[in-house]
Amino acid sequence: MKNLYEAFGAFCATIISPLVSIWARIYIGLIFWRSGVAKFDDLESTVENFDPSEDGDFILSFLPESFPPEIPAYLATFGELVLPILLFVGLFTRIGALGLLIMTVVIQFFVPGFENHEHYLWMIILAMLLAHGGGKISLDNWLFKENK
């Protein structure tokens, strides 16, 4: 029985784990990528959404009202377009995951009206990627031999 369980564990570590890592990177990356594309397609509206004087949807409660809305709007757009690419290819996966995890925490806890239980799932996936890296099928593994 012990040998069977050890064989199953080896199968999971060798086959299942790399597939789950790819799946997690693509799944969470697509969520942010699509949001970034939507923001980029209409940057004027994106800036308005971060502007308290326009009653935008993405008002960051920790920023003063006089803070220029262009800065968080452009940073969010940039992050949602660049960080998912890192996840897709598994390059600097932990950095990409950390950036998106910070964005998700900000969305969940500092943007009034954007509390969403789905964000906790995103945070779990991003924390897993942060903890374990890109997996065996990633540029991180190839370049840095992370998962020997």
Q: pLDDT (tens digit, 0 to 9) for every residue of the chain, 148 residues total?
A: 888 999 999 999 899 999 999 999 999 999 999 999 999 999 999 999 888 888 778 888 788 888 999 999 999 999 999 999 999 999 999 999 999 999 999 989 988 887 789 999 999 999 999 999 999 999 999 998 855 5
Q: What is this structure's pTM? A: 0.89
The pairs formed by 42-47 with CB atoms below 8 angstroms and a separation of 24 or more are 43/73, 43/74, 43/77, 46/73, 46/76, 46/77, 47/73
Distance of CA 43 to the CA centre of its chain: 21
Note the helical H segments in 12-138: 17-41, 43-49, 70-89, 93-110, 118-132
Look at residue 113 in the predicted model and tell me its pLDDT: 80
Domain ranges of the chain: 19-144
User: Which residues make Cβ contacts (< 8 Å) with residue 53, sequence separation at least 6?
Assistant: 65
